[in-house]
């Protein structure tokens, strides 16, 4: 792990905050899957990420909450490729995208109300549906 992950000009993950392990991948792959450790597990020290504001760090923790280990490190895995180098690059890309997603402030949702026409159409459809169901009932024969 000699090179850092650069997310933006201001935000980067230094090389000392990254730790990579390779293990055997699961799934198909023939003899190769039993012999070669191609699955990559990339661990990231979240406290060491440079350039994050407090709100961005909080969003990152929220986004990564299921991928955190007991020590609070982000654990990203990749076994998409048959080579360790490609899986490492894929895991680094996943970390980069996750941190980039935390940089974006989410837009606030403005509550809206349906238009009068939409309400009228909804009520008319409900009445039509009720009439159809009413016609399905059997009439009493005396």
User: Which of 35 and 117 is assigned the larger pLDDT?
Assistant: 117
Class of 5-103 in CATH = alpha beta
pTM: 0.74
User: What is the rounded distance in angstroms from the CA atom of residue 64 to the CA atom of residue 46?
Assistant: 10
Q: How confident is the model at residue 78 (pLDDT cuts 50, 70, 90)?
A: very high
130 has a pLDDT exceeding 70: yes
Q: What is the mean pLDDT of residues 21-45?
A: 84
**Is 85:93 a contact under the CB 8 Å cutoff?**
no
Q: What is the mean pLDDT of residues 32-46?
A: 87
**Is 61:27 a contact under the CB 8 Å cutoff?**
no
pLDDT at 81: 86
pLDDT at 140: 66
Q: How confident is the model at residue 129 (pLDDT cuts 50, 70, 90)?
A: very high
Stretch (H or E) spanning 40: strand 39-44
111 has a pLDDT exceeding 60: yes
9 has a pLDDT exceeding 80: yes
User: What is the rounded distance in angstroms from the CA atom of residue 2 to the CA atom of residue 18?
Assistant: 9
Which residue stretches of 8-83 are H helix? Answer: 31-35, 54-63
54 has a pLDDT exceeding 90: yes
Structure tokens at 84: 């360790």
Q: Which of 25-29, 38-42, 70-74, 111-115 has the lowest mean pLDDT?
A: 25-29
Give percent of the chain with pLDDT exceeding 90.
74
- Return the sign of the alpha-carbon dihedral for residues 13, 20, 58, 104: positive
**Is 12:4 a contact under the CB 8 Å cutoff?**
yes
Name the CA radius of gyration of the chain, rounded: 27
User: What is the rounded distance in angstroms from the CA atom of residue 113 to the CA atom of residue 22?
Assistant: 53
């Amino acid at each position: 792990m000699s090179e850092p992950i650069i997310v933006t000009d201001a935000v980067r993950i230094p090389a000392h905050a990254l730790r990579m392990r390779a293990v055997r991948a699961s799934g198909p792959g023939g003899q190769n899957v039993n012999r070669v450790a191609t699955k990559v597990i990339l661990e990231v020290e979240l406290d060491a990420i440079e350039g994050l504001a407090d709100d961005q760090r909080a969003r990152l923790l929220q986004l990564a909450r299921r991928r955190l280990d007991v020590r609070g490190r982000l654990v990203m895995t990749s076994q998409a490729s048959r080579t360790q180098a490609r899986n490492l690059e894929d895991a680094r890309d996943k970390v980069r995208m996750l941190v980039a997603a935390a940089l974006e402030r989410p837009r606030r949702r403005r509550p809206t109300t349906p238009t009068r026409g939409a309400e009228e159409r909804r009520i008319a459809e409900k009445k039509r549906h009720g009439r159809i169901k009413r016609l399905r009932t059997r009439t009493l024969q005396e």
